[in-house]
A and B are shown apart, each in its own frame.
Chain A
C-alpha cells in the first residue's frame, strides 16, 4: 500500500498543469503589471502642439516699442554762449554782470528728455565775470567758457 501511495504521489508530481492554464495565468499577470500603453497619446501630443501653435499665432501681439529719441536729443546742442548777454568786464569792471540762464524747457520736453535718459546742458554762474560754466553730462567734466576767448577749456584735460 505504501509503495502504491508513494508512486501515486510521484505521478501526481509529474503531472504538469495544462499549457493553456499556464498561458492564461501568465497573460492575466502581465496584463496587470505591464504599464498601460496609451496609443492615443501618440495622436494627442502632435495635436496639442498644433493647437498651441494656432493659439500663439491667433493671439494679438503688443505694438513694437517706439525708438528712443536719441537722435533728436543729440541734435540739441548747447546754446552758443553768444546768446548770453554778458558785458565785457573791461567795459564795466566795477559791476559784474549776472549770468543769464537759459529758459528751462517746457515740462513736456523735460519728460521727453528724461525718458530718453539724455543730458540737457545748462549754463551756470561761476562767480567770475570772465567765465561761465557749461554743465556737461559727465560729473567729472567741467566746461568753463571764457568770455574773452572763443576757446573752450576743459579742466579735466579731456578734449570736447
Chain B
C-alpha cells in the first residue's frame, strides 16, 4: 500500500521533515484510529492510542524504509493498544462505547446487535482480537497480518478462525 507524501527516507530539513510527517499523519490517521477503536472498543481510548502511535512515528519515521512503514504503523498500533489495555484495565475488561446513532449503522440490523458484536470482540484474547481486526475489519491479507503480528500465516488463519468461532458462539 502506497503512502502518500512519503517517497524516500532521506534526510529532511526541519520544514521538509514536518511536512513529510504531516502527510504521513493525514494519510494514516483514519486507519490507525479505526484499528485502535476496534481493538480497544472505546473511541476515547483509541484517540489516546492513536496519538501515541503518531508520536512514536514522528520519532522514528526518518529511519524507516518506505516499504516497511505500513507494517510498522499497524504493529505499533496493535502494541500500543495492548499496552494501554493492560495498563488501564488490568482486569481485562474493555470499555465499550454506547451504540452509535442508527443512521451510522447502515447495514447492521440494530444498534443492539452492533453493541453485542463489539462486546464480543472485546472479550476475545488479545492475539485473536488483533488477528481478527487486521484480517476481517482492516481487510489485510493473511500474509500481511502475519508480518505485522510476527507470526506465521497458519497462526493467523488459526487465530482468525478461533475468534470467529467464539463470536458465533457468543452471539448465537
Chain A residues with a Cβ under 8 A of chain B: 1-2, 5-18, 21-22, 24-26, 28-30, 32-35
Task: Check if A5 sits within 8 Å of B138, measured CB to CB.
Answer: no
Task: Check if B51 sits within 8 Å of A29, measured CB to CB.
Answer: yes
- Of the listed stretches B5-13, B29-37, B78-86, B149-157, chain A binds B29-37
CA distance A29 to B29 in the complex (A): 11
From B22, B33, B167, give the contact of A25 (CB < 8 A): B33
Q: Is the interface of A mostly helix, strand, loop or mixed?
A: helix
The 10 closest A-B pairs by CB, nearest first: A11-B107, A13-B137, A29-B54, A17-B33, A9-B136, A33-B58, A25-B50, A28-B51, A25-B47, A22-B29
Q: Is B55 interfacial (CB 8 A cutoff)?
A: yes
Shortest B93–chain A CB gap in Å is: 20
Task: Check if A5 sits within 8 Å of B167, measured CB to CB.
Answer: yes
Instruction: Find the B residue at minimum CB distance from A2.
Output: B168
Task: Check if B51 sits within 8 Å of A25, measured CB to CB.
Answer: yes
Task: Check if A12 sits within 8 Å of B51, measured CB to CB.
Answer: no
* 12 sample A-B contacts, Cβ–Cβ < 8 Å, listed by A number: A1-B168, A5-B171, A12-B118, A14-B107, A15-B100, A17-B43, A21-B46, A22-B30, A25-B33, A25-B50, A26-B29, A28-B51
* Max count, chain A CB within 10 A of own CB: residue among B46, B107, B118, B139: B107
CA distance A77 to B90 in the complex (A): 106
